[in-house]
Amino acid sequence: MAVARQSTLGGTRVCPHCKATVLQSANICPGCHHHLRFSTVNAEPQAQAVSAMRIEGTIHHPGRNEQCEYCVVIAITNQQGEKIARQVVGVGALQPGERHQYSFSVELMPVKGPKLPRL
pLDDT, tens digit, 9 for 90 and up, residues 35-76: 887 655 445 555 677 889 999 999 988 777 888 899 999 999
H or E stretch at 50? strand 50-60
pTM as predicted: 0.62
What is the C-alpha separation between 40 and 55, in angstroms, rounded?
35
Does residue 100 or residue 6 have the better pLDDT? Answer: 100
Nearest CA among 13, 14, 77, 2 for reference residue 43:
2
